[in-house]
Amino acid sequence: MTIPFSQISDDLAKQAIELPSWAFGNSGTRFKVFGTPGTPRTIEEKIADAATVHRHTGLAPTVALHIPWDKVDDYAALRDYAGEQGVSLGTVNSNTFQDDIYKFGSLTHSDPAVRQKAIDHHFACIDVMDQTGSRDLKIWLADGTNYPGQDDIRSRQDRLHESLQKIYDRLGDDQRMVLEYKFFEPAFYHTDVPDWGTSYAQVSALGDKALTCLDTGHHAPGTNIEFIVAQLLRLGKLGSFDFNSRFYADDDLIVGAADPFQLFRILVEVVRGGGYANPDVAFMLDQCHNVEDKIPGQIRSVLNVQEMTARALMLDREALNAAQAEHDVLGANGILMDAFYTDVRPALAEWRESRGLPADPMAAYAASGYQQKIAEERIGGTQSGWGA
Amino acid sequence: MTIPFSQISDDLAKQAIELPSWAFGNSGTRFKVFGTPGTPRTIEEKIADAATVHRHTGLAPTVALHIPWDKVDDYAALRDYAGEQGVSLGTVNSNTFQDDIYKFGSLTHSDPAVRQKAIDHHFACIDVMDQTGSRDLKIWLADGTNYPGQDDIRSRQDRLHESLQKIYDRLGDDQRMVLEYKFFEPAFYHTDVPDWGTSYAQVSALGDKALTCLDTGHHAPGTNIEFIVAQLLRLGKLGSFDFNSRFYADDDLIVGAADPFQLFRILVEVVRGGGYANPDVAFMLDQCHNVEDKIPGQIRSVLNVQEMTARALMLDREALNAAQAEHDVLGANGILMDAFYTDVRPALAEWRESRGLPADPMAAYAASGYQQKIAEERIGGTQSGWGA
Amino acid sequence: MTIPFSQISDDLAKQAIELPSWAFGNSGTRFKVFGTPGTPRTIEEKIADAATVHRHTGLAPTVALHIPWDKVDDYAALRDYAGEQGVSLGTVNSNTFQDDIYKFGSLTHSDPAVRQKAIDHHFACIDVMDQTGSRDLKIWLADGTNYPGQDDIRSRQDRLHESLQKIYDRLGDDQRMVLEYKFFEPAFYHTDVPDWGTSYAQVSALGDKALTCLDTGHHAPGTNIEFIVAQLLRLGKLGSFDFNSRFYADDDLIVGAADPFQLFRILVEVVRGGGYANPDVAFMLDQCHNVEDKIPGQIRSVLNVQEMTARALMLDREALNAAQAEHDVLGANGILMDAFYTDVRPALAEWRESRGLPADPMAAYAASGYQQKIAEERIGGTQSGWGA
Amino acid sequence: MTIPFSQISDDLAKQAIELPSWAFGNSGTRFKVFGTPGTPRTIEEKIADAATVHRHTGLAPTVALHIPWDKVDDYAALRDYAGEQGVSLGTVNSNTFQDDIYKFGSLTHSDPAVRQKAIDHHFACIDVMDQTGSRDLKIWLADGTNYPGQDDIRSRQDRLHESLQKIYDRLGDDQRMVLEYKFFEPAFYHTDVPDWGTSYAQVSALGDKALTCLDTGHHAPGTNIEFIVAQLLRLGKLGSFDFNSRFYADDDLIVGAADPFQLFRILVEVVRGGGYANPDVAFMLDQCHNVEDKIPGQIRSVLNVQEMTARALMLDREALNAAQAEHDVLGANGILMDAFYTDVRPALAEWRESRGLPADPMAAYAASGYQQKIAEERIGGTQSGWGA
């Protein structure tokens, strides 16, 4: 009992998922970062890879930048370069976790000079946004402490507000700030924006242009993430998603890899709450391909989101409402599961072909020779990673 | 490096911890409720037991009621009875989880008639408050679902708001509503008020008389509870505590039994945030004494809170601030730990004696013969429990 | 890339899943047990309901008994009755968690008299097995403590061994003991058989007829359950499964309801390790239908196991091996996911019809009128539950 | 109600805690490694720092080596150097997680050539042990997978056994192997030795010289670690501890920093089970001082273990046994808590002085000028870290 695929195919065409430039660079754990042949050395090469994902899937028209990892002298040129590749530049991500000065915090630091440096960094990010035409400034803070007593939790929260206010005031009329929350890591005792409640309280204190960013891997075990999605949509404060998946910590695995049913439930609430094909709710990936190939890893990821979105759109909401109204627990659950268990892959393959896309983007990429080409050509230089 | 006990002894005298009437009744798990000799059959006997805790500790001047478990015909008489015993009646707790009609929800139910019944129950609770002189109406909801799709999360949240608004509007000028949140149980897939963020969003939409109740056992594993304390105090929305402790789920064990250091950190943030000896932040217990004796279980609990409060008050905040300002991680942590590792028990024993209280309330209770007396006298009738 | 359904259809016919008699009785949480019309009053009615599940699915030829909940005077007669209904009696489950004497333990209790009573209860269970022809004695212990120091963990473990040894020695040649482990509940601080390692160490010390029972809901969050399945099969000690599912604690929800992909992975390891269609590895359900109808809840459960088993059998192991050998991370994962995402329901519907079963057991049950019939007929008496 | 300190002071003198050489090098998270002035560049400098910890505390007579991080040409010379500094060389830790060849496993790798390389590395470690006189070879494996299906869990376990067997067979008569387990990280989907059960099953299959290493930070949330301690001691398989502490993941914080009461309970079971002052049960630290100074971090750590050991030794076991025998839950718990809440620091200060040690090792170190000295002298070269 699901809506036919034919009825959702137009809706599917509205989907866009932003790729993170850093997913194409090397990443790893504190124990080891494994390099791989073909890893980009420059932001241009990252964009070329991202554009390759888009060419094969039609799903990823924009690329998020990370400053300073993707710093260039001429952002207008970068914008043009991206355009030539067939993609646009998207969200700008700030970074206040790699300078020695931020060892004890950035926007929350007790020293006004350090805070100002962090604020200035965000001003610089907004300057980049002005040049790239990016709408969103994404702030994820590594701020926190490792030991009880190390710093004053409360004052840090107040300082965070002050810092965010200054950054907020610098935003242009069409720009937004999205504040990501994260349960733990790299700080272990406390993080300054650990949960959606904190992000919500902080962005609510700023104004309409500040929203919450929900990273699907940043919650305590057992957390009902789709509830948070529903709640933030209800409160008008869900600005964006960072999709990925996790088994225990912030594993940053391919979205849908660990718990596909959870991804489905999240997308069901997105659709339910008006967050799908809604420009106010940005879909992004934030992943690390530590052991798998990066470009097909990204292709797999956007396909996973697309396949689950198709299932969510095919959910027979009318029938579900009726079963819910009758408190038919098994019936209502069954209607939901019907959509989840529907194999949308054959229909999606046709759908893609009808739009000039490869029916099987993974196979098409493998057959394209791109991976071999970059492995051969990208010799020398320094492979990109979190350090650069 | 701590503040001398002598400097905090006056502050200690300001502490009051409300006891839950139901802690004196039988409780258990879904597998078994063990009865014990002497368990109260009536609310009067519960109050007598609570008063016994207060007589031995000086810490527990009020008793929380649970409606309908503690329903009586004449609340004025009950109030008088409590007064004679030396205690007052405190928070009124509603119950919408034991009527068959609430199987699929109460304040969130899709059927307006069920919601109205639940709202009417809260009106009746407010009527009780008017008669008992209670200030706070505590709402903990068992509402939620067990299966994905069972009901619409978003609509339930909207209905919750509407229901709470009606109850809120009925509150007297000096009355408050505190909305408790709980991660899971008795619903397993989703609960309608699962986290502080949801409680905060809901009570903020109501007004100043609605606040959040933080039960220390109602969080996901790994949650930094003292952070939430600090945040809610900062936001002016921490209305009350339900103290207890847990190893994994909502175990409702004696406060401080599972993680005394966590209790200390919570109290440090309470003191830091102005929540101590502040009438706006109520201290309550919410515990189940499944295998241990109930009255000494409550005595042990209030003593645990008192001992940790003493340590929190003795924290040398000035030295801590200085170490924090210098980012002296080990020094700052050391100052916090100094307070925690200080054995306040001898000083507290003296302090109690100087106030006409037994130096060792546990021993005094054991020697009092009260337990034997109630075991002998309370024969026949039905022992109180969660059913009555 | 999966094995065609046609090639696995014979294997599918080998599946048998034991139903727990108690799933047909009422269950709930510590907060409330909701009754439902038609709930059995006797073990005979439970067996009739279980047989109904089997008639509709062909998957559930045996019913597990719980002693004393299912105690009867004449087990031979019960066996005959079951046979007439079309099912057999299966595993006998002991119960040492509801007598007052077991408040502080049963097989682990410090008092030899209490231990002997618990051992005697297991002897009585073996007597039942002799009469019912059951092979397996399943032991789940509620033993544990709520507070650190309450009892001596180490001595309890030694006493557990002694008690189990006595029970083991009483087993007939064709009888087995399966020892279940559980992370927490109803004890909160420690349980005496908390993990597979403890069960494994205990049963290994007994002999070949003692094995481990893995309940899928009895692990800490983040535990890789399929790893334990693989390990226990490797060690030759996986005796049986208790299937159910959970979001956070031991929710005892319908198997596959919370994390269908986990269920799939578990079944993949079962097949991989030779545990499928292997009489030495018993498949059982252990669930609570607190809010949903019980008979269709059980039907849904065995269908979920069947559907996932079909997917697991269709996994192209040869292709998987090849991809694994090449360390093709995405390829290997893709082959696994192919099997998971395959919609086996249409093929299974045909398969059922070809075997004289209803294509859609849920719909067939709903149309059968059985639920209405028992609701009308089972008036009076006491509905079965965990107390009886 | 505790045993007087005077009665345990001799026992306290038996304590020895091994320091990890790598704790003196830089460490961090995947996001950033912060360097600090004075960080050692060589193993000799690490040993000098470790010896400084020992000089101030009398608790840390040995230093664990990590190969290849601490590789030298002449281990006999290193042994002499350590001796001159006043310490000995201890456990040798292998490393199979930083060579590119180990990307998909080491001892579990499907390629026999990779496995042999990993085995050879362990042979080389045993060669080092022969020269350093070390008794224990500690094996912690980063082996695991990130995605379901990536590799065959079962075969990896079999290969692990074969590899371990070869290493085991190479051990000298007085040498041992300790196999550490870890719940997650750096692999996210499965680790090949995730729990004590797996380590126990693997070492049991080898023989008496193979034992389990318990790292206190390597468990799922909610795990009762002291239970595992008691169980492994009971089974005769607890070879060593890696002490540290954690709030959520493997934080590697200062032991006792996150949950001092848990550390106490662990040490109580160590004492109870005969693991204290028992050469067969090695006490080691395994920590990362990411934001705090390393040498005082190590001093703080060994002091924390010592203070908790003192409390555990002061536990009035006789009184506890009596209360346990009477099922006096509150009484038994109270006796345990009495020991925990006893402030042993003043007595320990005296005890230290009576043994020619500084009363306050933290203050003595701060006053010693050592930190300033190394900060000034250790200029140039490459600071040690996990890479070298």
Chain B residue numbers with beta carbons less than 8 Å from the beta carbon of A234 are 154, 157-158
Interchain contact, D343 vs B343, CB within 8 Å: yes
Q: Is C261 at the interface with chain B, CB within 8 A?
A: no
Q: How far is A251 from chain D (nearest CA, A)?
A: 6
**Chain mean position to CA B344:** 24
pLDDT for res B202: 98
Chosen from B101, B143, B145, B152 to mutate, greatest number of chain A CBs within 10 A:
B152
pLDDT for res C73: 97
Residue of A nearest to B152 (CA): A324
Whether C303 contacts C57, CB under 8 Å: yes
Chosen from B1, B324, B330 to mutate, greatest number of chain A CBs within 10 A:
B324
Position A47 confidence tier, pLDDT thresholds 50, 70, 90: very high
Encode pLDDT of B309-356 as tens digits.
Answer: 999 999 999 999 999 999 999 999 999 999 999 999 999 999 999 999
Interchain contact, B221 vs A220, CB within 8 Å: yes
Q: Is B297 at the interface with chain D, CB within 8 A?
A: yes
> What is the count of residue pairs from B and D with beta carbons less than 8 Å apart?
58
Interchain contact, C184 vs B97, CB within 8 Å: no
pLDDT for res D1: 83
Residue of C nearest to A334 (CA): C300
Q: How far is B23 from chain C (nearest CA, A)?
A: 14
Residue of D nearest to A101 (CA): D34
Check whether D387 has a pLDDT greater than 80: no
Compute CA distances D252 → C11, D59, D63, D281, whole Å: 48, 20, 18, 21
Encode pLDDT of C282-291 as tens digits.
Answer: 999 999 999 9
Whether C121 contacts C94, CB under 8 Å: yes
Position A388 confidence tier, pLDDT thresholds 50, 70, 90: low
Residue from the list C149, C190, C334 with its beta carbon closest to the beta carbon of D335: C149
Q: What percentage of chain D carries pLDDT values higher than 90? A: 99
- Gyration radius from chain D CA atoms: 21
Check whether B387 has a pLDDT greater than 80: no
Nearest CA-CA partner of B82 in B61, B66, B67, B68 = B61
Chain A residue numbers with beta carbons less than 8 Å from the beta carbon of B189 are 224
Chain D residue numbers with beta carbons less than 8 Å from the beta carbon of C201 are 197, 200, 231, 235
Q: How far is B296 from chain A (nearest CA, A)?
A: 31
User: What is the rounded CA–CA span in Å between residue C371 and residue C299?
Assistant: 13
Tokens 């002016």, residue located: B236
The CATH homologous superfamily to which domain C15-314 belongs is Divalent-metal-dependent TIM barrel enzymes (3.20.20.150)
Mean pLDDT score of chain A: 97
Cβ atoms < 10 Å from Cβ of D138: 28
Structure tokens, B9: 């002894």
HSE-up (13 A, CA, CB side) for residue C288: 23
Interchain contact, C188 vs B291, CB within 8 Å: no
State the Cα torsion A173-A175-A181-A185 to the nearest 10°: -130
Nearest CA-CA partner of C348 in C302, C315, C316 = C302
Compute CA distances D78 → B144, D160, D295, whole Å: 64, 32, 20
Structure tokens, B386: 């969660």
Q: What percentage of chain C carries pLDDT values higher than 70? A: 100
DSSP B139: E
Chosen from A196, A223, A224 to mutate, greatest number of chain B CBs within 10 A:
A224
The question of ipTM being above 0.95 is answered as: yes
Instruction: Give counts: helices (H), strands (E), chain D.
Output: 14, 10
User: What is the rounded CA–CA span in Å between residue C365 and residue A171?
Assistant: 61
Question: Residues 6 or more apart from C10 whose CB is under 8 A from it?
Answer: none
Position B388 confidence tier, pLDDT thresholds 50, 70, 90: low
Nearest CA-CA partner of A289 in A63, A45, A38, A15 = A38
Task: Return the domain boundaries, chain C.
Answer: 15-314
Residue of A nearest to B271 (CA): A154
Residue of B nearest to D221 (CA): B221
User: Which runs of consecutive H residues, i.e. helices, occur in chain B?
Assistant: 9-12, 43-57, 75-85, 112-132, 153-170, 196-204, 225-235, 260-272, 294-314, 317-325, 329-341, 345-354, 361-368, 370-377
User: What is the rounded CA–CA span in Å between residue A257 and residue D127?
Assistant: 43
Residue of C nearest to B221 (CA): C221
Chains that touch C (3 or more CB pairs under 8 A): A, B, D
pLDDT for res D388: 54
Chain C residue numbers with beta carbons less than 8 Å from the beta carbon of B254 are 147
Q: Is B251 at the interface with chain D, CB within 8 A?
A: no
Encode pLDDT of C89-123 as tens digits.
Answer: 999 999 999 999 999 999 999 999 999 999 999 99
Chain B residue numbers with beta carbons less than 8 Å from the beta carbon of D226 are none
Interchain contact, D104 vs C230, CB within 8 Å: no
Q: Is C222 at the interface with chain A, CB within 8 A?
A: yes
Q: Calculate mean pLDDT across residues A76-96.
A: 98
Chosen from B66, B102, B291 to mutate, greatest number of chain C CBs within 10 A:
B291
Q: Is A153 at the interface with chain B, CB within 8 A?
A: yes
> What is the count of residue pairs from A and B with beta carbons less than 8 Å apart?
143
User: What is the rounded CA–CA span in Å between residue C205 and residue A13?
Assistant: 62
Interchain contact, D332 vs C147, CB within 8 Å: yes
Chain B residue numbers with beta carbons less than 8 Å from the beta carbon of C31 are 97-98, 142, 185-186, 386
3-state secondary structure of A94: coil
Chain D residue numbers with beta carbons less than 8 Å from the beta carbon of B247 are 222, 224
Range in D111-125, D165-179, D286-300, D374-388 with the lowest mean pLDDT: D374-388
Chain C residue numbers with beta carbons less than 8 Å from the beta carbon of D103 are 327
User: What is the rounded CA–CA span in Å between residue C189 and residue C156?
Assistant: 14
Chain D residue numbers with beta carbons less than 8 Å from the beta carbon of C226 are 153
Check whether A387 has a pLDDT greater than 80: no
Encode pLDDT of D94-128 as tens digits.
Answer: 999 999 999 999 999 999 999 999 999 999 999 99
Interchain contact, C153 vs D269, CB within 8 Å: yes
The residues with which C241 forms a beta bridge, in sequence order, are C214, C283
Compute CA distances B135 → B93, B94, B208, whole Å: 11, 14, 14
Q: Is B103 at the interface with chain C, CB within 8 A?
A: yes
Encode pLDDT of C4-47 as tens digits.
Answer: 999 999 999 999 999 999 999 999 999 999 999 999 999 999 99
Encode pLDDT of B36-71 as tens digits.
Answer: 999 999 999 999 999 999 999 999 999 999 999 999
pLDDT for res A1: 84
Residue of B nearest to C220 (CA): B248
User: What is the rounded CA–CA span in Å between residue D358 and residue A113?
Assistant: 39
Q: Is D223 at the interface with chain A, CB within 8 A?
A: no
Q: Is C102 at the interface with chain D, CB within 8 A?
A: no
